[in-house]
Amino acid sequence: MRFGALEAGGTKMVCAVGTEDGKILDRVSIPTESPEVTMPALCQYFQDKEIAALGIGCFGPIDLDRASATYGHILMTPKLAWRGYDICGYFSEHLKVPVGFDTDVNGSMLGECTWGCAKGLDTAIYVTVGTGVGVGVIAGGKLLHGMQHPEAGHMLIPAREDDPYKGKCPYHGHCLEGLAAGPAIEERWGAKGQALKDRPEVWELEAHYLAYAVTNYIMILSPKKIILGGGVMHQEQLFPQIREKVTQMLGGYLQTKELGAMDDYIVPPSLGDDQGILGALKLGMDALEG
């Protein structure tokens, strides 16, 4: 059986067709313009692919409450043309197949749980640190939703005493995204993260904020694995620093076999760059099962 997968992002839409064993048979990338331009192009791609269902991992915030009149819509995004857009409804109507829908980070979490390093785990988190910070959560074997979906990238974090930067989030200033996402790094240090590799003070502070948030996620969710992805995490020197700081911040309070094997606990994604599209594929498979 073939399934459609869509990774819906603010700059590009990655469309793919795959099978239930996690094989991608074909994929294309289409730039994200207005819904009027982009949606027909996406439908055209999927139309003749004989897909049994479509899964979408979407930039947010999105409405995931099935009882809501706006289920499947994109909500208050800064991408104005997409605000309030009924993305699920459009595909249901035009492709006439079941549509699975979740956030892009929940999609990546699902991809890692199904075919990657979190396979078989019932509780884990996926954090992406890029243009923003997003967190996908699987808890008790299910993607965590709640009112809508977690927004743990906006967890409030105190600025460190030696950091005068006020934070970039328009809503909170110094939330994790406001302090540690790519644009905050760029504004604080005057250059993009890619160009700051040789500035250890940049990554020491970055590791502090990420470790602070990760420690809180551990306390709240008790995840069995923590996957850190996104452009900023290409700075691989962050991983050992984050592991060390998390261990310090936990203060010996928690002792589990997972925490005893930190190198295998806080890890980069395991599916190359395919965790998002594979997660979308699985969302499609799950939609068919109802």
The number of residues that bind Zn ion (CB under 5 A) is 6
Sorted by sequence, the CB contacts under 8 Å of residue 103 that are 6+ apart come out as 57, 58, 59, 60, 62, 64, 134, 136, 149
Backbone angles phi, psi at 43, to 5 degrees: -60, -40
Least Å distance, CB 96 to ligand ADP, is 30
Does residue 179 touch Zn ion according to CB under 5 A? no
Residue 211: both structure tokens together: 């470790």
Q: Which is closer to ligand ADP, CB of 98 or CB of 150?
A: 150
Does residue 172 touch Zn ion according to CB under 5 A? yes
Sorted by sequence, the CB contacts under 8 Å of residue 30 that are 6+ apart come out as 12, 13, 15, 38, 41, 42, 45
Closest listed residue to residue 132, CA positions, set 279, 230, 239:
230
Pick from 73, 149, 154, 188: which binds Zn ion (CB under 5 A)?
Answer: 154
Backbone angles phi, psi at 7, to 5 degrees: -100, 105
Least Å distance, CB 180 to Zn ion, is 11
Residue 77, contacted partner among Zn ion, ligand ADP, none, CB below 5-8 A by kind: none
Pick from 169, 233, 238, 280: which binds Zn ion (CB under 5 A)?
Answer: 169
Q: Which is closer to ligand ADP, CB of 100 or CB of 134?
A: 134
Interacting residues with ligand ADP (CB under 6 A) = 9, 130-131, 182-183, 192-194, 230-232, 234-235
Name the residue whose CB lies closest to ligand ADP.
182
Q: Which is closer to Zn ion, CB of 177 or CB of 286?
A: 177
Q: Which is closer to Zn ion, CB of 41 or CB of 220?
A: 220
Residue 169, contacted partner among Zn ion, ligand ADP, none, CB below 5-8 A by kind: Zn ion
Residue 193, contacted partner among ligand ADP, Zn ion, none, CB below 5-8 A by kind: ligand ADP
**Rounded Cα–Cα distance for residues 68 and 159 (Å):** 37
Contact 16, 247 (CB under 8 A): no
Contact 277, 24 (CB under 8 A): yes
Residue 230, contacted partner among ligand ADP, Zn ion, none, CB below 5-8 A by kind: ligand ADP
Alpha helices by DSSP H, the chain: 35-47, 87-95, 104-115, 176-180, 182-189, 200-221, 238-250, 275-289
Residue 18, contacted partner among Zn ion, ligand ADP, none, CB below 5-8 A by kind: none
Closest listed residue to residue 1, CA positions, set 28, 23, 34, 30:
23
Residue 183, contacted partner among ligand ADP, Zn ion, none, CB below 5-8 A by kind: ligand ADP
Q: Which is closer to ligand ADP, CB of 70 or CB of 194?
A: 194
Does residue 166 touch Zn ion according to CB under 5 A? no
Secondary structure (DSSP) of 118-133: TTT-SSEEEEEESSSE
What torsion do the CA atoms of 117, 132, 36, 287 make, to the nearest 10 degrees? 30
Site residues (vs Zn ion, CB under 5 A) = 154, 169, 171-172, 175, 177
